Amino acid sequence: MNELRNKQGFICDMDGVIYHGDRLLPGVTEFVSWMQKEKKEFLFLTNSSEYSPLELKYKLARMGLDVDESHFYTSALATAHFLKSQMPGCSAYVIGAPGLLNALHDAGIALNDVNPDYVVVGETKTYNYDSVLRAVTHVYNGARLIATNTDLTAPGQNGIIPACRAFVAPIELAAKRSAYFIGKPNPLMMRTGLKKLGVHSENAAMIGDRMDTDIIAGIETGLDTVLVLSGVTAKDDLVNYPYRPTYILDGVGDIPNA
């Protein structure tokens, strides 16, 4: 654990690591205070596309944590960056929350429900049958299908809830097209995260609650990995994966208290 504590930087997932819904997880306040006191570089890298960095800053502030918005990078921002690099000035039909819509707008991507270049799907509380029908029609007509992340489920305040992959699956099946997923474990998002962190991979660690996104993303990017058992993956689930995290902890509060 001393080697982990001596890392210069940490990339942390949020859902299941920092909070469940609007409830802060045990030990998080101590962990964030420790990183700030020890002048660690840290970045919250989340597959959720619902919120902007500013909204995440205020979300944590309501829970008692003071974290500048520069410490957040989301799959919505990664998706907007990808579309802008692929086709500057493109348009998209979007199923998603304001965090995704705002990221696309800021990247110069117009919303289009007539003949979009892309159909983009993220998490949203307004998911409905009509939006699925529209998305399928656009993909049939040639729009490229993009999803913000591969998460099938996410930890909610009252238990496991559906996430992006569950939302995009009906569109993939009906349109007979596979989505391209932007978020973790896509190396595009991880490389950007490391660049924003400003720390070499050998001196950084990836902290997450999912073996299939966080841990594999960290391993493939050359980071030490920390699986926390406060979210989706349970200890008994490890037998289902051919790879292992560097550390297994109950929660992030175990790091400063080791």
pLDDT tens digits along 164-203: 999 999 999 999 999 999 999 998 999 999 999 999 999 9
- Nearest one of 252, 225, 257 to 241, comparing CA atoms: 225
Residues 52-108 pLDDT 10s: 999 999 999 999 999 999 999 999 999 999 999 999 999 999 999 999 999 999 999
Give the start-end residues of each E strand in 67-182: 72-74, 91-95, 110-111, 118-121, 144-147, 153-156, 159-162, 180-181
Residues 108-139 pLDDT 10s: 999 999 999 999 999 999 999 999 999 999 99
- Let me know if 224 is a catalytic residue: no
Task: List the catalytic residue out of 13, 117, 209, 224.
Answer: 13
Backbone angles phi, psi at 127, to 5 degrees: -60, 130
- 236-243 mean pLDDT: 96
Q: Average model confidence (pLDDT) for the chain?
A: 95
- pTM greater than 0.85 (yes/no): yes
DSSP readout, 13-70?
--BTTTEETTEEPTTHHHHHHHHHHTT-EEEEEES--SS-HHHHHHHHHHTT----GG
123 CB-near residues (< 8 Å, 6+ apart): 48, 49, 50, 96, 97, 148, 154, 163, 164, 167
Other C-beta atoms closer than 10 Å to the C-beta of 228 total 28
Q: Is the pLDDT of residue 157 over 80?
A: no
CA-to-CA distance for 107 and 220, rounded, in angstroms? 28
**Percentage of the residues of the chain whose pLDDT score is greater than 90:** 91
- Nearest one of 51, 189, 65 to 123, comparing CA atoms: 51
pLDDT of 80 reads 97
- Let me know if 236 is a catalytic residue: no
112, 147 in Cβ contact below 8 A?
no
CA-to-CA distance for 17 and 110, rounded, in angstroms? 34
CA-to-CA distance for 179 and 70, rounded, in angstroms? 29
Q: Is the pLDDT of residue 258 over 70?
A: no
CA-to-CA distance for 182 and 89, rounded, in angstroms? 19
Other C-beta atoms closer than 10 Å to the C-beta of 7 total 18
Sign of CA dihedral 27, 211, 45, 197: positive
pLDDT of 155 reads 76
